[in-house]
Homo-oligomer: A and B are copies of this chain.
Amino acid sequence: MRILKKIFSKSRSLEDGIFFNALEKILGFPPTELEPYRKAFTHRSSNKLDKEGNPMNYERLEFLGDAMLSSVIAGYLFNKAPYGDEGYLTKMRSKIVSREHLNELGKDLNLIQFIESKVPVQHFGDNIHGNIFESLIGAIYLDKGYVFCEKFINSRVIIPYVDISRLEGKVISYKSLVIEWCQKEKRLFHFDIFEDNAIDGQRLFGVRLSIDDKVIAKARATSKKKAEEKAAQRAYFAFQEKINKK
């Protein structure tokens, strides 16, 4: 019996260790407590209850994460767009935290790998990705506080995805921006497209964007055009970051 208990507790901490490592990669910092994150990925179908008998699933954390995301983005936009009035700021924020955008963010981080549910993953609609992206932010707030939420949102949402010009509708295509820049700087560029493994029966396309024979950015999407655009956007921001650091 003792041995069984030992094995059980060992296997549990191994599982915790795997979860911890995977989380750290996504968060960019080590979590302190695992429990809020477990909750962030628990679907209501698992029918779990906490010690007090309250339902334990990600829905409350979604509420919390949504609030934290909204205020972090508000703070960012306030500083970034000193020319924008209240209406402009509200509109820009709702573009950034749109359902579609949150789903994309959750998918890109592959958060669904952590889901605990009695419903098969294929049965979920697209919104599950955005929902658990929000609940993850709620868990970060509980575990580490507001400043870490800000840090996470900055590195996972703002730097890789938020571009005010594009949101304002000024940038139509990152691909054309990158091509323009390469032509001006006399650099050789190449989009290398390959068909990627299917996930849930959905065909995906992968793209590698090389400049001067060096791979600068990779991306996957459901169409060649989308994948190219995504890779170009990543390359664009990677360059911007470099320029800003100089």
Which residues of A approach B to under 8 Å, CB–CB? 50, 52, 54-55, 59-60, 62-64, 66-68, 70-71, 74-75, 78, 82-86, 89-90, 138, 141-142, 146-147
Query: Quick one: copies of this chain in the complex?
Result: 2
Do most interface residues of chain A lie in helix, strand or loop, or is the interface mixed? helix
Contact call B60/A141, Cβ cutoff below 8 A: no
Cβ-closest 7 pairs across A and B = A67-B74, A71-B71, A67-B71, A59-B86, A146-B146, A63-B86, A63-B89
**Which one of B52, B54, B62, B85 lies within 8 Å of A86 (CB-CB)?**
B62
Give the nearest-CB partner of A52 in chain B.
Answer: B82
Contact call A67/B59, Cβ cutoff below 8 A: no
| 27 chain-A/chain-B pairs, Cβ below 8 angstroms | A50-B82, A52-B82, A52-B83, A54-B82, A54-B83, A55-B85, A59-B85, A59-B86, A60-B78, A60-B84, A60-B85, A60-B86, A60-B89, A63-B74, A63-B86, A67-B70, A67-B71, A67-B74, A67-B75, A68-B71, A68-B74, A70-B70, A71-B71, A71-B146, A78-B138, A78-B142, A146-B146
Q: Which residues of B contact A86 (CB under 8 A)?
A: 59-60, 62-63
Q: Which residues of B contact A82 (CB under 8 A)?
A: 50, 52, 54
Q: A149: shortest Cβ distance to chain B, in Å? A: 9
Q: Which residues of B contact A66 (CB under 8 A)?
A: 74
- Compute how far the CA of A90 lies from the CA of B64 in the bound complex, rounded to whole angstroms: 10
Contact call A78/B64, Cβ cutoff below 8 A: yes
Contact call B75/A64, Cβ cutoff below 8 A: yes
Q: Which residues of B contact A55 (CB under 8 A)?
A: 85
- Compute how far the CA of A84 lies from the CA of B59 in the bound complex, rounded to whole angstroms: 10
